[in-house]
Chains A and B, each alone.
Chain A
Amino acid sequence: MQIVEPSSPHAAQGVRPSPIGVRRAALLRNEDWLSSFLGLALILVAASVFAAGGSIKWLAVAPQKWSHASDVLQQLRLNGVRYAALFAVWALLLGAAAAALGLGAVKFWRAFAPVFLVTAAIYFLGLWDQAAHYNLEPPLVALALGLLFSNSFGVPRWLDPGLRVELYIKVGIVLLGASLPLTLLAWAGPVAILQAAIVSLITFGVIYAVATRLGLDRRLAATLGTGGAVCGVSGAIAIGGAVGAKKQDISVAISLVVVWAIVMIFVLPLAARALGLSTGVAGAWIGTSEFADAAGLAAAQTYGGYAGNVAGISGHPDAAVTAFTLMKVIGRDMWIGVWAFVLSLIAATRWERTGIESRSGAGEIWKRFPKFVVGFLLASLLVTWFASGYAYGEYKTSVLPGLVAPLQALRTWAFTFAFLSIGLTTRVRELVAVGARPFLAFTAGAAVNVLLGLFLSTRVFGAFWSGLGQ
């Protein structure tokens, strides 16, 4: 059945829109499809300009290494117009997405301007030649700065429309698809799915078993379980809705995921660094053990930044983000619809009644499918097809710097918008008190998740992940 929101003008007037109109409206109000459209549009424009003999390098400006403040001023003097143009393009594209979501383009632009400026400052800081020495990796700086600001001074509400973590992170993931050949996805995808399936099933089982043994409601146990085992906050709301959990229970699951995910952003890269893991192995571990895409990408990008800057860390810088994405997006996120369908069936047939009858069918799997994965795969397909027309040598000397590298720079911008937004939207005072039993159940699962993820990433599939990107 097509859904008409009670608050929509159609519902208020008692008018039923046509099925095509409803489907189009649903597409435009869905962040996953919007981020796919934006990412693919940028890739298509970049490829078209490249095919015509140019490059979007001029637009995809990024700070360069610097030693003294005067170097930064010099870069800004030389590239000020390019930064202004980049801001205008991001504001236009993301503002259009915000308008489609009903957030208001003008409200978005007003909030996005400071987000862009602070992101640029963080990006510059990360390129300081002493940044690695002081652990000033941009994802961690963005996150820490945001957390500090929002929890000390508070964030004015007018900034909220510009703090769209998921929109930024999904646009970045689609752009990431442009730098991953389809052959790599086909080669590494099955391993990622296998490893992620082992960890997801065991972690869910542990959280669910501990939670129910402690006397928690089964719907809360399932919501906590998928939050810890599949895809963090997204998993919690997907399963919470599918099984009809209490509102308070979903808030508890969200609070636990957010707190643990942020702890893991700082702990996982430090632990991987102490263990001397290669970038590919660390990315796989983070992909198995972090709860949310945005949080995991912050940790993985931080670790990728260690390659070449920290003694003993081997591997290509991009391998951490690549392995993370394969593990998290392909191995875990894609399956949330299946989890929702199965758990809604179990809830309807086996668990205590709530007075609400679930009518979910197999269509649930596609409804909840994270559609940005489609954009990510199409981006990979598009650039793989485009690059197939070039010899390997020409790809390295021409396509890589002229097409792929600018898209990577745009991706870094999008990710950094997201990392800053995580910090600015995480207000500890607003998170609900969780109680000891949910905390114990979730923490038991998190511990198993981290240790099992480490074992599989280093011992079972270690050689595979080490070889990624080489």
Chain B
Amino acid sequence: MSCSTCAHFDPHPAAVEAAFPGLSSLSSAYAAVKAADGLCSRHERYVAASSDCTMYSSASTCTRQS
């Protein structure tokens, strides 16, 4: 399963701009170059949505559990 549906993955532009001070000064998290990349809270990395890893945790499972 790819990062795009992982509970640890946050691609929201507002979250990305908040995580990277200075980003909105000369660019934007709403821009096409960002694609669907997002923040991985598990690895503390910024990753492409199509990536995957062994620590995947389904976002929909988390939503149902909560």
CA distance A248 to B51 in the complex (A): 19
| One of B7, B32, B44, B55 near A6 (C-beta < 8 A) | B7
Contact bitstring B16-27, A, C-beta under 8 A = 1, else 0: 100111111111
Within the complex, what minimum Cβ distance (angstroms) separates B12 from chain A?
Answer: 6
Q: Mark A238-266, 1 if CB is under 8 A from B, else 0.
A: 10111011111011001101100100000
Contact stretch, chosen from A72-80, A193-201, A420-428, A444-452? A420-428
The yes or no answer to B63 lying at the interface (CB within 8 A) is yes
Question: Does A31 contact B28, Cβ atoms closer than 8 Å?
Answer: yes
Interface SS of chain A: helix
Identify which of B24, B51, B64 contacts A244 (C-beta below 8 A).
B51
Given known pairs A3-B36, A336-B33, the reply for A356 and B21 (CB within 8 Å) is no
Query: Which one of A164, A355, A358, A368 lies within 8 Å of B35 (CB-CB)?
Result: A368
Assembled-state Cα–Cα distance A12/B65 (Å): 11
Would you call A166 and B46 a contact (CB within 8 A)? no
Q: Which residue of A lies closest to B39 (CB)?
A: A247
With A and B bound together, what is the CA distance between A254 and B63 in angstroms? 33
> Are A356 and B51 interface neighbours, CB within 8 A?
yes
Contact status of A370 and B24, CB under 8 A, knowing A244-B48, A356-B45: no
Q: Pick the residue among A294, A340, A357 that contacts B26 (CB under 8 A).
A: A294
**CB distance A360 to B21 under 8 Å?**
no
Tell me whether A7 is interfacial, beta carbon within 8 Å: yes
User: Interface 1/0s, chain A 65-103, versus B by CB < 8 A?
Assistant: 000000000000000000000000000000000000110
Contact of B33 among A14, A238, A291 (CB under 8 A): A238
- Residues of chain A with a CB closer than 8 A to B50's CB: 1, 358-361
In the bound assembly, the distance between CA atoms of A33 and B44 in angstroms comes to 30
20 contacts between A and B (CB under 8 A): A3-B49, A7-B10, A31-B31, A102-B13, A165-B28, A233-B27, A234-B28, A236-B27, A244-B51, A250-B20, A258-B25, A292-B27, A294-B26, A340-B33, A344-B48, A354-B43, A356-B43, A356-B53, A358-B48, A430-B21
Q: B-contacting residues of A (Cβ < 8 Å)?
A: 1, 3-7, 11-12, 14, 29-33, 101-102, 163-167, 231-238, 240-242, 244-248, 250-251, 254-255, 257-258, 261, 291-292, 294-295, 336-337, 340, 344, 354-361, 364, 367-372, 422, 425-427, 430-432
